[in-house]
Amino acid sequence: MDIIDSWWAIIRDGLYHIHPIQFVIIGLLFGWMTGSILSAVFSAVFASVVYLAVDLLWPVIFNHAVFAMPVFDAPFWHFFLSLSFAFLVVTLAIYIVKSIFEGIRG
């Protein structure tokens, strides 16, 4: 049970730092592009990379801030892991709903 608690602590801490609007837009785009369950895993990881790129480049483009690379320490990887998990849930949910509607439509 300690393993589950530690994983939940990692994911919970990372979920607090996700911007909801940006997450929903990227999640919907990658969810509609998902064609299988295996591609949902790759879509979730790639959506996390796109999310981080947008999060880093947004202030540079629109506020003329100085670009700063993220520090690849433990909190960064905790955030990336929780972001990937959240995108995996979203892409799988969209894939399942899309598959149900395609099955009904024929």
Question: What's the mean pLDDT in 70-77?
Answer: 88
| Structure confidence by residue, pLDDT tens digits, 48-62 | 999 999 999 999 999
**Residue 97 above 90 pLDDT?**
yes
Of 86, 87, 79, 71, nearest to 10 by C-alpha is 79
User: Any idea what DSSP says for residue 17?
Assistant: T
% of the chain surpassing 70 pLDDT: 98
**pLDDT band at residue 15, thresholds of 50, 70 and 90?**
confident
Helix (H, G, I), strand (E, B) or coil at 68: coil
Q: Is the pLDDT of residue 18 over 80?
A: yes
